[in-house]
Amino acid sequence: MKKITMILLILTIFAMVSMPKTIAQQTYSIKEATLTVYKDGLVHVKISLDVNETTPLITMPLLSRNVKNILAYDENNTPLDYEINNTNVIVYTLGAISTTIEYDTTELTSKTAGLWTLTLNSPFQINIILPENSTIIYINTPPTQISTTDGRIRISMPAGYCEISYEVTISPPMDYTITLMQPSTTITQGESASLTISITLTSGIASQITLSAIGQPQGVEISFNPPVGIPPFNSIMNIKVSQNTPPGIYTITIIAKGGGITKTLPCTLIIREYRAPIITPITITAAIGIIIIAAYLIWKYPIKSIRSRGKMKELTEEEAEIIKFIKEKGGKALEVELRERFPDIPRTTLWRMVRRLESKGIVKVKKVGLQNVIELK
């Protein structure tokens, strides 16, 4: 009898110990796991899961020991609390029906003599997106699927050990030309004029170019619309001459800076003296007649005053796309979502654009956990 009791006790203890593991195995299922590899070796991991809303937490294995920028959120994009436990991340998912976990790591890639190698051991199937202009040199296991998305190789790999060696073709440095449609202009004192500047990309990958001008005489104001852009683009140079600017011929230097290159372009500005109209009895009589007619028309047909609305400062095409994307996301978006939506914009450049929009009062940046949330004001 004691022997039977002992056996039952051992079986009960074994069942109690193994039960949490069995339950844990049923608390979530992976919908999709994607690794996006960037040219500098950074890997962004994004894993989408279906979870049991009655389960208080899930334990998910990390693909790397050293991770950063961890973010966990539910189906409503509400951030979830999490903890790191050795090589696992514990996410508190009570009430959620789906969960997304994202993080960055640089430990999955290495570079030797210009050849990149991605190495990992995944307990689940993964999709790998290689950088643009990549060429696969070696892959240890036949992929379940291979395709291209927006010019980037996408590989689906089964669970287990994965090793992919690839080369990234280096694009030539950016170069561009700056052209003035009209090399000179004549403006009378107290008047304004506009000139069109064309910036054209000649090689490399386009990056932001800033326009400015020097050499204008006192009393001359110069502005560009837009002052910043990514080639190819056109900008309107507005020149405003005050009544006190001395007449003469001046050389204005237009400066374009971007991609580590500075280019200049001369523009000839001719300022003509303002000559007041000659007043004669005939012109006085005509002026009085015009005033009388105008006064009558105003009395008979009063004009309603119109209040002008302030306009937002000009935005670049990329900044406008960022604002459009945030609107589509309900007025707020995570920084990682912006990086995923605009993979062609370098991370530092994208962040500077966000900060510029914040300085204009268009968006505000909030810190949620270890991630930034960008909201429209």
pLDDT value, residue 10: 47
pLDDT tens track, the chain, 377 positions: 444 445 434 444 444 444 444 334 457 999 999 999 999 999 999 999 999 999 999 999 999 999 999 999 999 999 999 999 989 999 999 999 999 999 999 999 999 998 999 999 999 999 999 998 899 999 999 999 999 988 899 999 999 999 999 999 877 888 999 999 899 999 999 999 999 999 999 988 889 999 999 999 999 999 999 999 999 999 999 999 999 999 999 999 999 999 889 999 999 999 999 887 666 677 677 778 788 887 776 666 554 333 333 335 567 888 888 888 988 888 888 888 888 888 888 888 888 888 888 888 888 888 887 788 888 88
Cα–Cα–Cα angle for 58, 60, 64, rounded to 5 degrees: 155
Q: What is the dihedral of CA 290, 292, 298, 299, to 10 degrees?
A: -170
What does the pLDDT read at residue 371? 84
- Would you call the peptide bond into 346 cis, given omega within 30 degrees of 0 as the criterion? no
Question: Considering the domain 175-272 in this protein, what is its CATH number?
Answer: 2.60.40.10
| pLDDT tens digits, 78-117 | 999 999 998 999 999 999 999 999 999 999 999 999 899 9
Within its chain, how far is the Cα of 56 from the centroid? 35
pTM: 0.47
Supply the pLDDT for residue 304: 39
Tokens representing residue 186 in the block:
């004549």
Domain boundaries, given as residue ranges, for the chain: 25-168, 175-272, 317-376
Domains 175-272 and 317-376 share a fold: no
Domain 25-168 architecture: Sandwich (2.60)
Thinking of the domain 317-376, which architecture would CATH place it in?
Orthogonal Bundle (1.10)
So what's the pLDDT on residue 330? 87
